[in-house]
Structure 1
Amino acid sequence: MKNRWLGIAALSALLLSSCQSELQDSAAVQAPKPVTLTWMHHFEEDGARKWLKAGTDKFKQSHPEVSFAIEGISGSIYMSSLRSKVVTDEMPDLYMIDSISETKDFIDSGYALNLKDAPFLSNIEDKFLNGVRTPDGSVWALPIDMNGAGIIYNKDAFAKAGITHIPETWEQFLAVCKRLQKQGIIPIAAGYKDSWTISWDLNPDLIANLLASDPDWMLRIEQGLAGFDDGQGRFAQVLTRFGQRLAYTNPNPFETDWNQALGLLASGQAAMIINGTWTVDGVKSLEPDSRIGLFAFPGTDDPKDAKFAVKSTGGIVVNPKSPHVELATEILELFSTQEVGRVFQQDKKAISVIKGLTPDLDPIYAEFNRLYLEPSRTVDWSHITAGFEDQRLNKAYVNALTEFIVDKDHNVEKCIDALNQSFNTIRRRR
């Protein structure tokens, strides 16, 4: 009897061991394989990077097999870096774009997934999809925020100089600059060491006072159907105002990078930066307690013309050639939720385009909403082209503006002639 029970015990142990082995083998088969998703972006501000990390960390909670290789590239070389990835066939699984009009080559070469049937697009305010939608109804990116082009200012610097009202005309703006300079405050911080800031220093004026009434002006120039002296001379007026305010930037702007310019504004050493609303995130990342405000570029002598340029034309793009398209699309679904949108508004200090989120999560944007959004004192530039698809033209544009800045006379006619000549040369070679 004893031997019989020993035999049964041995058989049971064998069967149990076999079952455990089969379960382990089954688990090994069913366990998802580790996946690394690549994501390229151009965010230099700490808040935007926190938002990306918060969203991807949230995704990993439900997808523990997924890890992320997130690469941040300086805005000055971001697009050229992306295009080099196309050449080497190393495009990331996800990437950010600012405008589908300036990244049409990615769409044409099959590196942007058409999202038009994605159910999560219903989470986005429909008006903000217009900027990422082409005439055929295709949607090429998940928009994340409404950004704008205008002036970001330090309220304490204004108060120190005794300035109680934001300028609403060009004459008032120059008077404010003079007053700030007399008080030992740099009126305008410029970080031209990062070349992308040069064209963006011009954009708030260019968009509101030229492109708003002639949205295809730069497109016609790219196609050779117009020159920089066309458009009723409005580009010359933009350049003239640019030259007039260059006297009020910090010394050695070409030795100052974007982060240093942000530091000047955050500390109150400088009073203003002329750029995009993402500047708020950059300043707040350096000095969370700094009192920052926004106002429209006042490019004329009529206060009614001082409108803030706002749009939503870029966002997150999925690479359809990625081996992980389904996972990447799931990430977009998560980033379209109110939960991640709230993180975006709190950390990036920007206005989310997700339904149900109001722009009053930060005092800066509550004021911006009251002054510009609610009374419709805005210019919608979602369908305005403020750059050139051909990167050789973009480079020539920035080079000519650089020469204009360096030229102590800031000769407008000379700059326009140089632009026309360089663009004609590039077009002939093309």
Structure 2
Amino acid sequence: MRLSAIILVNAIMKWVKGMKLHLLAVGAALSLVLTACQTQPLTSVPKKQPKEQTLTWIHHFDEEGARKWLEAGTQLFTQRHPSYTFTLTGVDGGNYMSLLRTRAISNNMPDMYMIDNLESAQDLIRTGYALDLTNQSFLSQIDERFLNGVRTANGHIWALPIDVNGAGVVYNKEAFAKAGILSPPSTWEQFLEACKALQNVGIIPIAAGYKDSWTVVWDIAADLLANQHAENRNWIADIEAGRTSFAEDQIHFKDILQRFGERLSYVNIKPFETDWNQAQLLLAEGKAAMIINGTWTVDGVKSKNPASNLGLFAFPYSNDPHDAKFGLKSTGGIVINPHSPNKEAALQTLALFASKEMGTIFQTNKKALSVIKGLPSDFDPTYVELDETYIQTGRTYDWTSLPTDFVNQDLQKVFVNALTRFILDRTHNAEQCIQELDQGFDRIRKSSK
């Protein structure tokens, strides 16, 4: 019994000793953990910054206000989405579409680009370089009237329209006042009388910047568009397709040329040595009284002289004042390249540019009517006059479906070259110009068969 008790006591002592060692080990481990927590700083794992992406955007804006609008919008997008930046590239309007087509052939299209109208961009749409925007929610912020210009016959929308463009005459009110002209002319006879009155007081009646060749076409665009509308014909498309000729004179093209020839005696000297910016400066400084072109001219002139007191009136192509209507349309806009790796960011950019916020910035900087709903029309005195005189009185026409340029660039070159020779010809022979145009167009059509 005594031996058994001794054995039991020894076993208990071993167990107690083992437990002490175990507790000491646990305690030591716990102490190490607590010490580590107290003395070692926590290591923070830095968040991985998203890689910066650059969206490329090609445009043809020459006017300072338009460029400011683009810069303001892209900078605002970058502020809200810091991982995205933009490279904005401006290209001369005369070479713009040719550059886009060259880039499309080499598969080097930008993420985003501008177009003036769907007609001239049909090849880019057909070859898959325009994203279909039809179901994008941001289009609900655009005035429905101005979506027709970016919608094809099948109902698809290919661009975000940005502004309402007009074709007519921009004039300097102070120059008119100096010549004693109390109101803008509404007939062709009154227009010529105004030119003479301006010339008599030493003011250039019409500023021309033919050094930039696109302005040659736009000098007759208001007359050309008004007559296409009056005859209800897409004459440019008919000519291009060979369905009619210049000689057939279906929209009185000979009369258009003769009016052009009559007013060429009232343009500045050496117009082919004067570029578009210099022509706008003449109007801004009151040295010239008028520019016959698009409403974007207002932005260009006011960028050079914000104090310019400008007005707008319809080109009076006849002696019936009821024919003097101001052509308005919205046919171009911002296009997204569907092959862009930044397509989603580009769509978010369009959503921003379709907002009232950007519409206000647009009207403030570009001095043009925005297509975005709910914006005021009294943002600039020049457009107040346009609104009151023409828009509110119904004296406008829609030239959405009426192009000013030929899609085929070879035909367009023939057109510009013939008009250039017509200007340089001191007799301004309309019949000779028409003959040259028909022969040149026939030659191009035959060579393309």
TM-score (norm 2): 0.91
Structure 1 alignment gaps of length 5 or more: none
- Measure the CA separation in 1 of the matches of 2:285 and 2:311: 14
Change (3 A) 1:12 1:137: farther
Counterpart residue number, 1:162:
180
Aligned residues of 1:212 and 1:381 also touching (Cα < 8 A): no
* 1:9 counterpart = 2:35: yes
User: 1:74-85 to 2 correspondence within 5 Å?
Assistant: 74-85=92-103
- 429, 439, 442: which one aligns with 1:421: 439
Post-superposition offset of 1:158: 0.5
Counterpart residue number, 1:37:
55
- Measure the CA separation in 1 of the matches of 2:375 and 2:422: 43
Post-superposition offset of 1:7: 6.0
Q: What letter is aligned with 2:211?
A: K
- 389, 397, 400: which one aligns with 2:418: 400
- Measure the CA separation in 2 of the matches of 1:233 and 1:210: 6
Post-superposition CA distance 1:123-161 (Å, at most 9, x none): 001110001101111001000000100000000100111
Counterpart residue number, 2:284:
266
Please report the RMSD computed on the Cα atoms of aligned residues, expressed in angstroms. Answer: 1.6
User: 1:131-150 to 2 correspondence within 5 Å?
Assistant: 131-150=149-168
Aligned residues of 1:210 and 1:234 also touching (Cα < 8 A): no
* 1:284 counterpart = 2:302: yes
More off after superposition, 243-252 vs 354-363? 354-363
Q: What letter is aligned with 1:66?
A: Y
User: 1:10-409 to 2 correspondence within 5 Å?
Assistant: 10=36, 16-17=42-43, 20-21=44-45, 24=46, 27-28=47-48, 31-232=49-250, 234-409=252-427
Where 2:335 maps in the other structure, the secondary structure is strand
Post-superposition offset of 1:16: 2.7
Q: What letter is aligned with 1:199?
A: V
Q: What letter is aligned with 1:279?
A: T
- Measure the CA separation in 2 of the matches of 1:383 and 1:4: 84
Where 2:87 maps in the other structure, the secondary structure is strand
Post-superposition offset of 1:231: 3.8
- Measure the CA separation in 2 of the matches of 1:337 and 1:312: 17
Aligned residues of 1:215 and 1:385 also touching (Cα < 8 A): no
- Measure the CA separation in 2 of the matches of 1:85 and 1:212: 38
Post-superposition offset of 1:77: 1.1
- Measure the CA separation in 2 of the matches of 1:212 and 1:218: 14
Aligned residues of 2:228 and 2:251 also touching (Cα < 8 A): no
Aligned residues of 1:396 and 1:419 also touching (Cα < 8 A): yes
Post-superposition CA distance 1:265-314 (Å, at most 9, x none): 00000000000000000000000001000000000000000001110000
Where 2:42 maps in the other structure, the secondary structure is helix
Structure 2 alignment gaps of length 5 or more: 1-26
